[in-house]
Structure 1
């Protein structure tokens, strides 16, 4: 029976130990209240290497073996997006707590089914929105509350890459990923916006998506593997641009791209405009120092303030700490995946708008 009390370490298995899954495994292994008991991955060399590095006793080839194993309380899932729903639902039905990589699912229907499964099982379902744990984001959260920038009316948010089309074949497959740049990077940026604004509802979305660079052979990440005929499709977008209308009249200009013949190169930007001031977070190549600027009038003169902010954090260790704390708290109903579901609903509206070429309501 999976752990339901605070006695003993939380016994965790990680399913999928590619780049992000390996980060999950390292974070769980470093947690003092966790025992990393198993790894599962279809690639033997990959799973064996991580297991040897971390001293994990059980190495499995199929996620179903994890769910059938004794002595597991929670699983971390870092598989291709299309597998998030079936594996998560099966794990919840087996009585396990679940940390599932973003996006929660590739469709709203699947995301809702995952949340329903968490509620029925009475288990935690979390998605690691780790960027909200950055120190500069925490600073903005405090600053917007006090002294604040007055009434917020518009937000510009983006994550743009110069040449970052994903290396893994499944990332470029609509069937396996559910989309491209938007579903890959968009959940993090959207989460930052809604988190800092206090979780307002998104009412409408108007959007366009483009997949021109990927199909023309441009924009591949320098770390991308060579194209293998028959194994390397590209039928997703490499750029998505959207305009969102939120409750209370706030508007959001939202752009996500994997590639572009432009100056942007792994730039995360968030600009929040208020009546009495504005703030901007700009992080290139995941920089954590000097990322925040505040714009206000001082004595009637426009001024730029660059506060000293420790922007560190935002790694998977912070996500794992929160996940374990949520399980230990026993307040599992507050961690049922609903927040991630709301992000999925917005991304779905963006895709629907781009498909029909008109604004859509959520």
Structure 2
């Protein structure tokens, strides 16, 4: 689709959003605030929220759809955001890409590497942008650390540790989050993929060569560890079954000899919720995240200054979060050359997660073929 008006002047991109949850609303807010975008359509099955959001964002009945198929066919979109349960990412994205619409998906890319690869293939076939809104990559501490790593302050980064651990935070016990067919996995797929993305991004996108992983389900199957505190375990009729892990750990061998230790949990007996990333480099190290507050951006750089051990605390830029992810996506769509923007880099996250689950099931290291 063209982003040029009838008089040859640039026009605003026409955007649509599928999904009315928290993430979908972040995308809607970001599109409305972007000067080069017009939010023209929303899609979702819930009648009440659809009408309420339509009124909130000034979208008339013609731009409100129950199904994504109708929205893609009738709304004249340039870009679409997919903020649905994970198992719907690939069907919606492929349909949109085949219709010539650029796609911004919520994480993870898909519930399996196979489905993720189908999305990337559709982006290549139609020369459309495929992106994922990894909002935690836009944290101020991550942005500052990326610049320092790229400038060589840490030297060669050869080892990283990254994790997101919750004391009691299984999202929606008994909902799609805990059903393997809909979510693809548990905390590794849900929050661990954020830490995996941050680590690979900061380390310069090394290729994964092998994974050794383990998973555990000690809380969810007993109806414990839910974020609401309610006991909602598997029921006799089979609905609400807990089919995924509630803690995972993975050791990833990367190209060039670097390694990554990754852990993620929805529920575990830890002192407090934690979000951390530690880099070990030949010329310095870095610790990202606050030891006291789980989601407070903080960065410490460990190095030597004139031979004296020093700890630096850089001033951090403002967090960008979803708004910046949408801004980056729009900027990619506006580029004339879309090489490198078809989601190939994002596919690596799905490949690593798939390998980790296979490793856990088979109790062995899994070698990853080139992807």
TM-score range, shorter chain: over 0.9
Match of 1:277 in 2: 284
Please point out which of 103, 109, 112 is paired with 1:107.
Answer: 112
Structure-2 separation of matches of 1:150 and 1:39: 46
Match of 1:78 in 2: 83
- Contact 2:277/2:289 (8 A) holds in 1: yes
Structure-2 separation of matches of 1:50 and 1:223: 29
Give 1:94 deviation, angstroms. 1.3
Please give the secondary structure, in 1, of the residue aligned with 2:339.
Answer: helix
Structure-2 separation of matches of 1:98 and 1:208: 33
Give 1:67 deviation, angstroms. 1.5
Structure 2 residues not aligned, in runs of 5+: none
- Contact 1:92/1:117 (8 A) holds in 2: yes
- Contact 1:15/1:21 (8 A) holds in 2: yes
Q: 1:47 to 1:227 in 2, by over 3 A?
A: farther
Per mean C-alpha deviation after superposition, the further-off stretch among 214-223 and 154-163 is: 214-223
* Aligned residue runs from structure 1 range 1-362, under 5 A: 2-5=1-4, 7-57=10-60, 58-146=63-151, 148-167=153-172, 169-222=175-228, 231-265=239-273, 267-283=274-290, 284-288=293-297, 291-298=298-305, 302-310=309-317, 312-362=318-368
Give 1:285 deviation, angstroms. 4.0
Cα shift readout 1:286-320 (whole Å, capped 9, x = no counterpart): 213xx11122245655443323323x323111111
Q: 1:56 to 1:273 in 2, by over 3 A?
A: same
Give 1:63 deviation, angstroms. 1.1
Give 1:331 deviation, angstroms. 2.0
Q: 1:7 to 1:272 in 2, by over 3 A?
A: same
Please give the secondary structure, in 1, of the residue aligned with 2:110.
Answer: coil
Give 1:150 deviation, angstroms. 2.8
- Contact 1:126/1:336 (8 A) holds in 2: yes
- Contact 1:154/1:272 (8 A) holds in 2: yes
- Contact 1:15/1:63 (8 A) holds in 2: yes
Give 1:206 deviation, angstroms. 0.2
Please give the secondary structure, in 1, of the residue aligned with 2:161.
Answer: strand
Structure-2 separation of matches of 1:76 and 1:276: 41
- Contact 2:222/2:233 (8 A) holds in 1: no
Per mean C-alpha deviation after superposition, the further-off stretch among 332-341 and 217-226 is: 217-226
Coordinate RMSD, CA, aligned: 2.0
- Contact 2:221/2:233 (8 A) holds in 1: no
- Contact 1:134/1:314 (8 A) holds in 2: yes
Per the normalisation by structure 1, the TM-score is 0.93
Structure-1 separation of matches of 2:348 and 2:117: 10
Cα shift readout 1:87-107 (whole Å, capped 9, x = no counterpart): 111111111111111111112
Q: 1:133 to 1:354 in 2, by over 3 A?
A: same
Q: 1:90 to 1:235 in 2, by over 3 A?
A: same
Structure-1 separation of matches of 2:331 and 2:306: 46
Structure-1 separation of matches of 2:219 and 2:232: 16
- Contact 2:140/2:316 (8 A) holds in 1: yes
- Contact 2:233/2:242 (8 A) holds in 1: no
Structure-2 separation of matches of 1:226 and 1:42: 25
Per the normalisation by structure 2, the TM-score is 0.91
- Contact 1:17/1:25 (8 A) holds in 2: no
Give 1:228 deviation, angstroms. 9.2
